[in-house]
Amino acid sequence: MDDMKGEYDLYWETKRFLESEELESMWGIEQAISGSYASSSSSVDVVAPSSAAKNIMVERDRRRKLNERLYALRSAVPNITKLDKASTMMDAINYIQELQEQERRMQEEISKLESEKTSIRDVVPIIERDDLLVPQRKKRTTQSSSSLALGSSGSSSLEVTQLRVSKVGERASIVEITCNKRRGSMVKLCEVFHSLNLKIITANITCVPGSISHILLVESEGMENAQMREKVAAAVAEVDAPRSLMSNISLQ
Amino acid sequence: MDDMKGEYDLYWETKRFLESEELESMWGIEQAISGSYASSSSSVDVVAPSSAAKNIMVERDRRRKLNERLYALRSAVPNITKLDKASTMMDAINYIQELQEQERRMQEEISKLESEKTSIRDVVPIIERDDLLVPQRKKRTTQSSSSLALGSSGSSSLEVTQLRVSKVGERASIVEITCNKRRGSMVKLCEVFHSLNLKIITANITCVPGSISHILLVESEGMENAQMREKVAAAVAEVDAPRSLMSNISLQ
DNA sequence: TCTCGCACGTGGGTCT
DNA sequence: AGACCCACGTGCGAGA
């Protein structure tokens, strides 16, 4: 469709140049007009000698402004097919719609990236807000949407502050577990997942002062999210209290 | 600058409606023109009876197309100040530039997010390609610029493929260690750093099929890079072969 | 030749 | 009334 001739450039531009030349100056103001027109006005002669001339000038100015805008529009659009007036506007329309569509795509890509980053962003801020993990909660059936508070008594145990399982695709799951950091917590966490005998595809442990988080991509052979979570929780309890004291966990 | 009157709407729209009404039909084609004009033509009468009328029609069509484009342009721009011709174009120009700027911003935000996600994206595709972890390499003295190949013999030991220490600031060091992944490698690595009794500021373990890497930020109390590296290597050997068989490591 | 695209002046609208 | 904006018909210049 777009023939994109290219020899239009010189044509239009030179024409445009000459026209704007003759338009800008060459007379003072309203001299030539009143000489050629006001004398032959047939309707009203005396009431407005410069009325027609003024109108001409003002109309001229209007056209100039309009063309100015057209050039500005043309210069704002990168892909110009022809230097035509209508084509310029058509190109502008297409370009705008193209930009809008691209904006939409980028927006959804951004939100996609953001949501992919959310799982990390949910974990990291915990580092800053120690108040969140200060309240040593005793209740063990809080069971909000997707966080599970387990962690038995005392001193050097694993205190899990977050445990979330989410399926990715049919055969894999993301397991995110965060706990307070004490000496040996990292080793214990590793042991937990070692003891689970899961097929771990990828794993990532991030450890900062006060907190340690473990994110794994595992093969979840038909297991549901809740099931997997219980299994991990059980393993945590097992490692935590080797004396098989798991009375306080509602294991299915 | 933009006064945004708002009462223009009804004015222009009704006017526009009436004009398009009278333009579209109301005559057949070129009947009224030839009747009112061709008879009073002063220049050439016989050569082209429908020439002027055709021109009129063609010009009319041109204007119609142009206005059509203008409306399309106006409908493509969301924020219209006035239904003016010039204002429409001005709005279109501003909107285009606005979109372009926003595109630029979104582009750089996307690239920022992409770069943040790179560490994950490098890992995930491996899930699909199992062939990548088939080639178990046997060579252990590759020794490129800053990589150290240590690792003793066979089966379930830690085979370290890279160990690098670099100071960051005066009192901290980054320790990067990569090794082949076998069962228990992650636990062993954790034990290594647990046994070193280092003051670990942050730690990160990333584990993909076939390989496991551990990056730590530790307090290096006056230790030099080489010194730290030897210490880590010794600990690896210690965990690897608890019978203190460290003959193949050049420990200072 | 004819077609295309344009600027021009003008009349005719509406809103202050 | 002015100011404003617009469509119209027309002449003109450049390309097929």
> In a 10 Å sphere around its CB, with 0-12 CB exposed, 13-18 middle and 19+ buried, how is residue B35 labelled?
exposed
Q: Is B86 on the interface with A (CB under 8 A)?
A: yes
Q: Could you check: is the Cβ of residue B86 within 7 Å of any atom of nucleic acid strand D? A: yes
Q: What is the mean pLDDT of chain B?
A: 66
Q: Could you check: is the Cβ of residue B48 within 7 Å of any atom of nucleic acid strand C? A: yes
Q: Which residue has the higher pLDDT, A169 or A80?
A: A80
Residues B130-152 have a mean pLDDT of: 35
Distances (CA, A) of B232 to A72, B189, B193, B235: 66, 10, 8, 5
pLDDT value of position A47: 44
Residues B62-91 have a mean pLDDT of: 92
Domains annotated on chain A, with CATH: 8-103 (no CATH), 130-240 (3.30.70.260)
Question: In angstroms, rounded to a whole number, what is the distance separating the alpha carbons of residues B138 and B136?
Answer: 7
Nearest CA-CA partner of A217 in A98, A116, A142:
A116
**Which 7-36 positions of A have CB less than 7 A from strand C?**
12, 16, 19, 22-23, 33
Residues B5-16 have a mean pLDDT of: 48
pLDDT tens by residue, B143-167: 333 333 333 333 456 778 878 887 7
Name the residue in chain A with its Cα closest to that of B100: A99
pLDDT value of position B117: 58
Q: Which two tokens stand for residue B115?
A: 């770069």
Q: Is 90 exceeded by the pLDDT of residue A100?
A: yes
- Which residue is it, tokens 């508070």? A149
Residue A6: left (phi > 0), alpha (psi -120 to 50), or beta?
left
Buried b (16+ CB within 10 A) or exposed e, B160-172: bbbbbbeeeeeee
Q: With bands split at pLDDT 50, 70 and 90, how would you rate the model's confidence at B215?
A: confident
Mutate which of B205, B215, B217 to test chain A, going by most A C-beta atoms within 10 A?
A: B205
The one-letter amino acid at B186: M
Q: What is the ipTM of this complex?
A: 0.50
Q: Is 60 exceeded by the pLDDT of residue B79?
A: yes
Residues A18-32 have a mean pLDDT of: 44
Name the residue in chain B with its Cα closest to that of A216: B207
pLDDT value of position A212: 81
Return the minimum-mean-pLDDT range out of A158-162, A215-219, B62-66, B103-107.
A158-162
